[in-house]
Structure 1
Amino acid sequence: MISPLAYIDPEAKIGKNVTVHPFAYIDKNVEIGDNCTIMPYASILSGTRMGAGNTIYQGAIIGATPQDFKFKGEDTLLKIGNQNTIREKVIINRGTAQSDSTIIGDGNFLLEGVHLAHDTHVGNNCVFGNGAKTAGNCIVDDRAILGSGVILKHACRVGRWALVRDGCRSSKDIPPYIVADHNPITYYGINAVILAKEGHFPEELIDNIAKAYRQIYQCGTSLENAIRRIRELIPITSELEYMLSFIEHSGKGIIGVNI
């Protein structure tokens, strides 16, 4: 299962049924779980902790040194969960300091040329299109979709089930359940097709999410007043509570709102 033409440092820990193709590079201080596949010319660098069932394609660089002037050479970590697909030429930087790590959850799909910078946290079942990139300290919550060429600037957050269309650039947070489009990026509508397709969101809940975002983006009132009206007018389920908490605790402010 492991090609003699691959390089594996003697200190690396490799699980069961791992396939390592010719010319792959696995550094010291690396842990790879069971049933992973490492394709030719992929590099798994020091500080990487990888779960089970991951596939790393050609030319990917996993656990690269952070591109951060604050980095002083510490032994920091990149933590990857299970069943992720990481396609060609993806670059993922490990954390800058020992107090944090770059973290990738389970079941994510990173297409060709994606770059996740230092201390970025990605949840579960997210999709990153070709060439999508994050700056450092970004957060991407579960089931978010970033289209091809999307750029997230430093410390931005993307909410659950959000869809960011191709080529968008954001310096603010992108709230959950919406479609974000255009440059400058703004609210385009709710992600109703995906929400309905997955079967997790009944029609009434999707309608309530749409009503809530109409208060924020289409009623011409302040964000504070919009949130107050949402709590008064719309039944607050756990999904709506997560949405409101995301907005109320946004460190960068949300897209398309200037108040």
Structure 2
Amino acid sequence: MAMIHSSAIIHPGAKIAAGVEVGPFSIIGEHVEIGEGTVVASHCVIKGRTRIGRENRIFQFASLGEIPQDKKYAGEPTSLEIGDRNSIREYCNFNIGTAQDAGVTRIGNDNWFMAGVHIGHDCQVGNNTIMANNVTLGGHVHVGDFAILGGMAAVHQFAIIGAHSMAGGGSIITQDIPPFVMCSGNPVAPHGVNSEGLRRRGFSAEAITQIKRAYKAMYRQNLSLEEARASIAVASAETPELQVMLDFFAASTRGIIR
């Protein structure tokens, strides 16, 4: 049985799984689906075509599934999808997608969103990311697995945040951050490889060494980006961990931070 407070307002069309908890004064809309074991605290608003997976924890005053902050939006039936085991803290707001992109804003699994995080329309967020207080993602941003964004970091529309990368607090990110790279500042600038994070996630010493060499090819050897990509492609034959960098280069459209 779902445990729903008597003051919560749940539309009859909403699909609430067994074991879901909904706190006082929260509002759940008609097209919302919430998976088993998810906890929705008090004063949350979840609306639109929003599907939430299992065992998420949504803290008070969160707003999920509201329409995009995009003047082109004209009421199209777009959606928000949230995976499993995410922590969504106070005042987070995640918007649905738009017809001009995938039509869905998508959040993966095991992410940690601190207070006040804004996920704009059509963003695609992977798994195991951390976004500290007041991080802002403009529309259409893609964030790779295990990426970390420090408090008040702001990401420009259509930018890509590579897997295992890390941006310091207050960073202004207007171009793409390659996987594994640490950066900070306004404008944001690279500051080496997130070696400690990679060790904690089980990367071998040899793989980390090769990732550092790839970083040097991009930033320390006065190579053009195409030359650096060619060097990394050769190294990836023996270090498969570098393939994520090649995939990133293929998807990048805004240019990488340099």
Q: TM-score range by the shorter chain?
A: over 0.9
Query: Hey, what does 2:209 align to over in structure 1?
Result: 207
Task: Tell me how far apart the structure 1 counterparts of residues 125 and 249 of structure 2 sit (CA, whole Å).
Answer: 19
**Residue 207 to residue 235, structure 1, CA distance change in 2 (3 Å):** farther
What secondary structure does 2:103 align onto?
A: coil
CA contact (8 A) 1:212 1:234 kept: no
After TM superposition, list the pairs within 5 Å mapping 1:155-170 onto structure 2: 155-170=158-173
Query: Hey, what does 1:108 align to over in structure 2?
Result: 111
CA contact (8 A) 1:19 1:35 kept: yes
TM-score after normalising by structure 1 = 0.95
Query: Hey, what does 1:74 align to over in structure 2?
Result: 76
Task: Tell me how far apart the structure 1 counterparts of residues 252 and 134 of structure 2 sit (CA, whole Å).
Answer: 26
Q: Among all aligned residue pairs of Structure 1 and Structure 2, give the percentage whose two residues are the same amino acid.
A: 39
Query: Hey, what does 2:14 align to over in structure 1?
Result: 12
Aligned-pair CA distance for 1:247: 2.0
Deviations 1:84-116 (A, max 9, x none): 110000000011128520000111110000000
Task: Tell me how far apart the structure 2 counterparts of residues 99 and 218 of structure 1 sit (CA, whole Å).
Answer: 37
Aligned-pair CA distance for 1:244: 2.2
After TM superposition, list the pairs within 5 Å mapping 1:58-73 onto structure 2: 58-73=60-75
Aligned partner letter, 1:103: R
What secondary structure does 1:186 align onto?
A: strand
What secondary structure does 1:28 align onto?
A: coil
Aligned-pair CA distance for 1:237: 2.2
**Residue 185 to residue 9, structure 1, CA distance change in 2 (3 Å):** same
Aligned-pair CA distance for 1:141: 0.9
Task: Tell me how far apart the structure 2 counterparts of residues 115 and 170 of structure 1 sit (CA, whole Å).
Answer: 15
Aligned-pair CA distance for 1:215: 1.1
Task: Tell me how far apart the structure 2 counterparts of residues 232 and 44 of structure 1 sit (CA, whole Å).
Answer: 48
Deviations 1:36-62 (A, max 9, x none): 111000111121111111111010000
Task: Tell me how far apart the structure 2 counterparts of residues 96 and 229 of structure 1 sit (CA, whole Å).
Answer: 38
Paired residue for 1:223, among 218, 222, 225? Answer: 225
TM-score after normalising by structure 2 = 0.95
Query: Hey, what does 2:28 align to over in structure 1?
Result: 26
Query: Hey, what does 2:123 align to over in structure 1?
Result: 120
- Higher mean C-alpha deviation, range 96-105 or range 38-47: 96-105
**Residue 44 to residue 234, structure 1, CA distance change in 2 (3 Å):** closer
CA contact (8 A) 1:144 1:162 kept: yes
Unpaired runs of at least 5, structure 1? none
Deviations 1:212-247 (A, max 9, x none): 110110111211122223344675422212212312
What secondary structure does 1:254 align onto?
A: coil
Query: Hey, what does 1:43 align to over in structure 2?
Result: 45
After TM superposition, list the pairs within 5 Å mapping 1:130-145 onto structure 2: 130-145=133-148
Unpaired runs of at least 5, structure 2? none
Task: Tell me how far apart the structure 2 counterparts of residues 233 and 110 of structure 1 sit (CA, whole Å).
Answer: 35
What secondary structure does 2:190 align onto?
A: strand
Task: Tell me how far apart the structure 1 counterparts of residues 102 and 187 of structure 2 sit (CA, whole Å).
Answer: 34
CA contact (8 A) 2:126 2:144 kept: yes
